[in-house]
Amino acid sequence: MLIRPRYLRRYRQIVEILADYGFGAFLAQMGMSERLNIPRWWRRRKEIPGDEMTNPRRLRRALEDLGPTFIKFGQILSTRSDILPPQYIEELSYLQDEVPPVTWEEARQVVETELGAPVEELFAEVDPVPIASASLAQVHVACLVSGEEVVVKIQRPNIERTINLDLDIIYDLARTAQQRIATASRYEIADIAEEFSAGLRSEMDFRREAWNADRFRQNFADEAHLYVPKIYWEYSTRRLLVMERIQGIKIDDLDALEAAGYSRQRLSGYAADFALKEVLIDGFFHADPHPGNMLILPGEVIGVLDFGTVGRLDDSDRANLARLFIAGVQLDVDGIVDQLQRMGVADYRVDRMGLQRDMKRILTRYYGLPIYEIDAQEVAKAVQPIMYEYKLNVPTNYYLLMKTVIMMQGVGLKLDPDFDIIQAAQPYIGKLFRRMWLPTSWGPGAIRLAMDWRDFVSVLPRTTTRILDQVERGQLTVQAELPQLEPTINAIDRLINRVIFSVLVAALVVALALLLPRLDYAWPWGLLTWIIVVGFFVLVFLAIRLAWSVFRSGRAKFNR
């Protein structure tokens, strides 16, 4: 791995922190210590004050010290139960994205740079104290010159440069790990880092969050009990987002809801309708519906905030999830495993009997219980060891959906412990399957398939005639490429050549050694004497060189 000079300082900081938390051996295995000229004593784990920490906790602490980019990467890894053992998943789930805010003067410069005008000309008033602060941005309350109350999301100064630098380093580290460490290669950790990098760079463009909000407004335009704040596009840029300010009661503040006279049962129904429609009908869902992002407005209207993280499900995803849901409700473990394989989550070489046994054990634990006694988070924790053991490859959007379901179930059950989400989901699942049978759903695919068959039928006679002519003339040849086999053949070829060369050198050395005592060394030497003596020393040199090459080859394998 080539370390670019402008990254060298940050690389050394990262390696130092990881070594302090006991990951020096891992770094040495990746070759980082030698590339950065880090002494051996620096690779040893330093003692950290406090209680004895487990390896998962050391990893979490290291990621927190490495900064916001690594914290977000750890949060992504905390959803990958197919890669990390459950104890790491649980520990990384505690990572928090909270940092102190920058001063108003620094934030003000970002606003004026983005909009090209003084703040006083843009806003009638801005509260210099932010109401929220995270690693990417902080949020201020403001009032437009026209009088509307808004919230202003401002990207932290220079954060984009810092994150881009860290993202490049994370990808380089992941690629090196994939090349040198078998486990990282098996899970294609470089692809995970690349996907994370694309997602975080997208999150830094606040226009995407604004587009997401507008799409939700459109999807729920006919829903009287859901409200999405308005985006002020004339004030919004890549690093700045201005949105209508809405104020209400947090959806989990039960005392305030009851004091306001709101029905918790109706609110739980509205929240469930929101979640089911966005997942099963729209295929575009809010992936961070924690209580702080859901406010109850007058009229029992749910106001939804923060559209930075969303998930997407196409028609096939929704149909597959609905089939999986039905198989689970029916306790059909055969159907569950079949569906997981069709979805590409479970490999066809998986231990099917073992997976069925473990799935049935979990399903029977909760089968027949009322919904209020089933904790989605507890179910997710029970599934994590199965995902890790059987290497279930769950796509990122499914992980986002799992997180969304857990959060929404927590909100729903807190509002109404007797609420039955399965019963509420049945109309939406029925609507989904009815849509699948409509011509608008299967028609375009059928047309494409018909056109493919038309092309196939039109070329089949001519192609078949040419193939039969070649067979009749004996001109048909079959060429097969085995890219996995070629490196092995080359290695065997080099090994055989080295063995043959070694035998020849050894035979010639022995032959010349037998001839040397029989030569006439009286001066001046004859031509034959000169040839044999010089040849002997040349062959000795070649033998030493061959031995050295064998020694170096073995040492290189040992180091790898």
Q: Which amino acids are annotated catalytic?
A: 288
CA separation for the pair 25, 27 (Å, rounded): 5
In whole angstroms, what is the distance from residue 68 CA to residue 64 CA? 7
Cis peptide before 524 (omega within 30 of 0): yes
- Compute the chain's Rg from CA coordinates: 33
Which one, of 53, 33, 29, lies nearest residue 41 by Cα? Answer: 33
Asked if residues 132 and 153 have their Cβ atoms less than 8 Å apart, the reply is: no
Query: For residues 539 and 545, what is the distance between their CA atoms, to the nearest angstrom?
Result: 10
Sheet strand arrangement including 249-250: 226-227, 301-304, 294-297, 249-250
**Tokens for 36?**
């950065």
* Cα gap 103→362, rounded to integer Å: 51
Please, what's the b/e burial string for 263-277 (b: 16 or more CB within 10 A of its CB; e: otherwise)?
ebeebbbbbbbbbbb
Q: Which helix (H) or strand (E) holds 35?
A: helix 32-35
Mark residue 300 as left, alpha or beta (left: phi above 0; alpha: psi -120 to 50; beta: remaining): left
Neighbours of 339 (CB within 10 A): 21
Those residues whose C-beta lies under 8 Å from the C-beta of residue 390, and which sit 6 or more positions away, are: 346, 350, 351, 354, 355, 358
* Cβ-based burial of 521 (10 A; exposed 0-12, middle 13-18, buried ≥19): exposed
